[in-house]
């Protein structure tokens, strides 16, 4: 594998020093795991505190009124009623109702916003915003100057409070600006693991200091993209390219909560048509009867052997001590409590469909 | 990278420990390190006949499923049941407690198709030189 053309975050050398196993992800050279391995990293996150380098992700700053800028028409969630210093999760859609990306909107001021997007989608998101924003809006892509560190786990508040005491007052899905090692930065109480946690947006060229200061606390473990995928899957959080794509609508992905149907937005007409004609497929979450894990690309079968769908994400879940998976099936096969079979030509394994999330004991809102 | 002197090896990173007509099979330090935490081992069926370099079984790490090939032809006589509940034994002790199956060897001349410890060690060095290290985990 050639890695010469991949982009690197400001923490690349830190990952190498910690024994990070570097892999390509969305055009970036990122740590998939560190020396201790994915299972120990999982335990660190669920029981202690872990830190992820998410500097590859994209950040846009948008200035403008939510309506006259066009922002409210681009994002599936309503943003006009967002309190300042709150975050809101939503999607941006194409005209067919497919998902261009999922993202988090931060309301920095009544007419100033930060939009956090997936690394793989930065370019196309920027184009979509530019094409749909109105002349009153000013959009700036600050991804290249913004590092993002995610401190996640039940001990994260205690640990981050030692550097930033005021962070303890942040409620779930809110943020503020704080002084951290001499810089005034945004810290939000958000995350992608199901545990209490914070996302720290920090100047790119100074991110090494914060990484070092947080890891100086012996309770903090560095964690890679491998366990990040396991943790988000245990929570049934969608990962773009799996549960959400340009041809999957948020309705099919079970994310209607994050779509404000009363307002107008790009893709709404297609969603209305989908609702009227009935969804053709639906998302299912299932637990393997063994430690064998479902994998992306596996087929899904009914217990009488009929092909009913396919797996889009799967892994071994340390929390459940079993394989877990997410897939799409024909609508008639999706009631909770039903059994389903996953596998390929060689192997088929039974599983039980369950309500989401798989992991229900997180410290997320503690 | 630890290698056991009296074992034989395949280029797919399985090892074979010969004891008379019985050969014990497992995966090497290189393989377990590249795979990372092993989360599932499918144990082969006892009495099943296997062919040299053909599929023996599969195991899974957090990331992916991986095929294990038999270093020798023969009949499975025993499997390591401990791995069902605790596949991590392979990560902790791949050359002893992490054995996968025992095979009653049908043709001991096939051992000439396997690598000695020295040959396997040289093979690993050639992989490193070619930058193929860890390719199974990517």
Looking at the structure, do residues A37 and A156 belong to the same domain, yes or no?
Answer: yes
Interchain CB distance below 8 Å, B40 and A347: no
* Residue A316, in any domain of the structure: yes
Residue A307 CB contacts under 8 Å (≥ 6 apart), including other chains: A299, A300, A301
Contacts of A347 in chain B (CB under 8 A): 42, 58
* Residue A105, in any domain of the structure: no
Tens-of-pLDDT digits for all 366 residues of chain A?
554 689 999 999 999 999 999 999 999 999 999 999 999 999 999 999 999 999 999 999 999 999 999 999 999 999 999 999 999 999 999 999 999 999 999 999 999 999 999 999 999 999 999 999 999 999 999 999 999 999 999 999 999 999 999 999 999 999 999 999 999 999 999 999 999 999 999 999 999 999 999 999 999 999 999 999 999 999 999 999 999 999 999 999 999 999 999 999 999 999 999 999 988 899 999 999 999 999 999 999 998 888 999 999 999 999 999 999 999 999 887 556 689 999 998 889 999 999 999 999 999 998
Contacts of A19 in chain B (CB under 8 A): none
Looking at the structure, do residues A173 and A304 belong to the same domain, yes or no?
Answer: no
CA–CA dist A73, A260 (Å, integer) = 11
Looking at the structure, do residues A152 and A223 belong to the same domain, yes or no?
Answer: yes
CA–CA dist B9, B32 (Å, integer) = 14
Residue B20 CB contacts under 8 Å (≥ 6 apart), including other chains: none
CA–CA dist B79, B100 (Å, integer) = 6
Residues belonging to chain A: 366
Quick one: pLDDT at residue A345? 84
What domain range includes position A30? 12-56+144-234
Looking at the structure, do residues A43 and A149 belong to the same domain, yes or no?
Answer: yes
Looking at the structure, do residues A297 and A156 belong to the same domain, yes or no?
Answer: no
Query: Which two three-digit tokens encode residue A56?
Result: 């590859």
Quick one: pLDDT at residue B73? 98
* Residue A43, in any domain of the structure: yes
Measured from the Cβ of residue A81, the count of other Cβ atoms closer than 10 Å reads 12
Spatial contact of A340 and A300, defined as CB atoms under 8 Å apart? yes
Is A295's Cβ below 8 Å from some Cβ in B?
yes
CATH code, A152 = 3.30.1360.120
Number of structural domains chain A divides into:
2
Spatial contact of A272 and A296, defined as CB atoms under 8 Å apart? no
Looking at the structure, do residues A216 and A286 belong to the same domain, yes or no?
Answer: no
Interchain CB distance below 8 Å, A347 and B36: no
* Residue A248, in any domain of the structure: no
Looking at the structure, do residues A36 and A166 belong to the same domain, yes or no?
Answer: yes
For A76-97, give the DSSP string. Answer: SS--TTPPTTBEEEEEEE-TTS
Out of A1, A33, A293, closest to residue B39 by CB: A293
Q: What is the DSSP letter of A212?
A: H
CA–CA dist A311, A297 (Å, integer) = 6
Respond yes or no on whether the N-terminal peptide bond of residue A357 is cis (omega within 30° of 0): yes
Structural domains present in chain B: 8-128 (2.40.50.100)
* Residue A27, in any domain of the structure: yes
Out of A33, A226, A292, closest to residue B40 by CB: A292
Quick one: pLDDT at residue A16? 98
* Residue A336, in any domain of the structure: yes
* Residue A162, in any domain of the structure: yes
- pLDDT digit string, tens, across residues A70-100: 999 999 999 999 999 999 999 999 999 999 9
Quick one: pLDDT at residue B122? 96
C-alpha distances (whole Å) from B107 to each of A31, A116, B52, B101, B115 are 45, 62, 10, 17, 16
* Residue A65, in any domain of the structure: no
Query: Residue B46 — φ and ψ, nearest 5°?
Result: -65, 145
Quick one: pLDDT at residue A280? 83
Query: Which two three-digit tokens encode residue A210?
Result: 């914060």
Looking at the structure, do residues A230 and A291 belong to the same domain, yes or no?
Answer: no
Is A6's Cβ below 8 Å from some Cβ in B?
no
Looking at the structure, do residues A220 and A284 belong to the same domain, yes or no?
Answer: no
Interface of B with A (CB under 8 A): 36-37, 39-40, 42, 58, 60, 62-65, 84, 87-88, 91, 134-135, 137-138
Sites in chain B below the pLDDT cut of 50: 133-138
Residue A104 CB contacts under 8 Å (≥ 6 apart), including other chains: A87, A88, A89, A90, A115, A116, A190
Looking at the structure, do residues A34 and A157 belong to the same domain, yes or no?
Answer: yes
- Domain boundary residue among A234, A251, A271? A234
CATH code, A286 = 2.40.30.110
Quick one: pLDDT at residue B63? 83
Measured from the Cβ of residue B103, the count of other Cβ atoms closer than 10 Å reads 26
Which of B37, B64, B133 has the most A C-beta neighbours within 10 Å, making it the best mutation to test the interface with A?
B37
Task: Calculate the CA A239 to chain-centre distance.
Answer: 6
């Amino acid at each position: 594998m050639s890695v010469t053309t991949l982009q690197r975050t400001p923490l690349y050398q830190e990952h190498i020093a910690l024994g990070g196993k570097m892999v390509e992800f969305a055009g970036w050279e990122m740590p998939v795991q560190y020396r201790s391995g994915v299972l120990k990293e999982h335990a660190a996150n669920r029981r202690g505190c872990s830190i992820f380098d998410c500097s590859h992700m994209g950040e846009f700053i948008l200035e403008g009124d939510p309506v006259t800028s066009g922002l409210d028409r681009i994002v599936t969630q309503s943003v006009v009623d967002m309190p300042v210093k709150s975050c809101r999760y939503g999607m941006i859609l194409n005209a067919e109702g497919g998902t261009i990306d999922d993202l988090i909107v931060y309301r920095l001021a009544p007419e100033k916003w930060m939009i956090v997007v997936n690394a793989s989608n930065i370019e196309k998101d920027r184009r979509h915003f530019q094409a749909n924003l109105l002349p009153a809006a000013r959009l700036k892509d600050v991804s290249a100057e913004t590092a993002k560190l995610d401190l996640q786990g039940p001990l994260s508040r205690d640990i981050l409070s030692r550097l930033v005491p005021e962070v303890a007052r942040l409620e779930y899905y809110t943020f503020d600006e704080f002084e951290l090692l001499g810089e005034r930065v945004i810290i939000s109480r958000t995350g992608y693991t199901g545990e209490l946690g914070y996302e720290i947006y920090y100047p790119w060229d100074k991110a090494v200091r914060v990484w070092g200061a947080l890891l100086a606390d012996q309770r903090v473990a560095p964690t890679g993209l491998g366990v990040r995928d396991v943790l988000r899957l245990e929570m049934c959080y969608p990962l773009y390219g799996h549960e959400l794509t340009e041809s999957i609508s948020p309705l099919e992905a079970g994310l209607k909560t994050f779509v404000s149907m009363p307002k107008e937005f790009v893709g709404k007409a297609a969603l209305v048509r989908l609702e009227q004609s009935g969804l053709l497929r639906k998302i299912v979450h299932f637990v393997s009867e063994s430690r064998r894990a479902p994998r992306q690309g596996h087929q899904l079968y009914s217990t009488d052997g009929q092909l009913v769908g396919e797996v889009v994400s799967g892994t071994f879940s340390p929390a459940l001590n079993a394989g877990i998976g997410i897939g799409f099936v024909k609508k008639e096969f999706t009631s909770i409590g039903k059994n389903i079979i996953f596998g390929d030509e060689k192997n088929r394994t039974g599983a039980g469909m369950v309500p989401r999330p798989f992991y229900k004991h997180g410290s997320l809102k503690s | 990278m630890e290698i056991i002197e009296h074992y034989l090896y395949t280029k797919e990173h399985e090892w074979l420990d010969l004891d008379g007509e019985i050969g014990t099979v497992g995966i090497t330090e290189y393989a377990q390190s590249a795979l990372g935490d092993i989360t599932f081992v499918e144990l082969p069926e006892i009495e099943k006949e296997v062919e040299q370099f053909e599929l023996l079984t599969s195991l899974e790490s957090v990331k992916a499923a991986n095929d294990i090939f038999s270093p020798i032809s023969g009949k499975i006589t025993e499997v390591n049941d401990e791995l069902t509940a605790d596949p991590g034994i392979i990560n902790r002790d791949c050359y002893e407690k992490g054995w996968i199956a025992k095979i009653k060897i049908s043709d001991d001349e096939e051992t000439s198709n396997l690598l000695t410890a020295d040959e396997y060690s040289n093979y690993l060095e050639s992989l490193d030189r070619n930058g193929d290290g860890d390719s199974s985990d990517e």
